[in-house]
Structure 1
Amino acid sequence: MKAVVQRVTEASVTVDGETTGRIGRGLLVLVCAMPDDTPEDVAFLAGKIAKLRIFQDDDGKMNHSVQNIRGAVLAVSQFTLAAQWRKGNRPGFSAAAPPAKGEAFYDLFVEELRKLDFVVETGRFGADMQVSLINDGPVTLWLDTAD
């Protein structure tokens, strides 16, 4: 799985004028399933994100995880993380998992995060979404379970 993790002071996602998810301090996670991903990859990624020490302590060092600060997670499916862009100028997305697997693994990812006792808000799989955020830091990380 691929994910872009952004430390935020707030974030929200809207579909057709309806807010489907909104968080305060925490993480916005854009996530993409790949064809070779397994349920173990999903659980590993969720666990790693929960424990990433990217929030500042009292000394200004990144020593706290989203778990430590009791933050929330906004999880948004984003197949475009699998973009193939080297050839031509229009990216291709055939490297992403097929939609049925992508949705199943996105749902599993959200479930794994909730098992870790997070408030988890979501977008809507396959929808045209508008995502708003205030990136804190900015802190943005690229994670790929294939690495």
Structure 2
Amino acid sequence: MSTVEIEIPSPPEQVYAVLADGWTYAGWVVGATHIRDVDEHWPEVGSRIHHSVGAWPLQLQDETRVRSVKPGTSLDLDAKAWPFGVAHVRFELSPTPNGGTRVTMAEKAVSGPGALLPEAAQALFLAPRNTETLKRLADVVAHR
């Protein structure tokens, strides 16, 4: 998996509150451009965010589904963007000694054309995008 991390100077419960608000995803997930709907029980296992990916008018309509969750600690997702495929995305939150949160984001294409690439090749595309995603997440947490 391609893995990136950032330290956010806010406690894990504040960071998790943003992860648990599916309506914020288009504001910090690089590539997500519009949230059409969020299942009422997000982020419980099996719940979904219905989103658009890409620039208008060439947007793909798809969804992201929760694989597993440990509130305040981790969130595992299957993010779809057909025809490109499905990626497994994992967020892990760890408290830091100064009261902040270390956020680790790991992603790997698990189906579709992206899964045909070796993990090292996937990382060339995913690491810069996910680094920007975490910077945006930090901004949303800081200004919420």
TM-score using structure 2 length: 0.29
Higher relative contact order (CA 8 A, sep 6+): 1
Structure with higher helix content: 2
TM-score using structure 1 length: 0.29
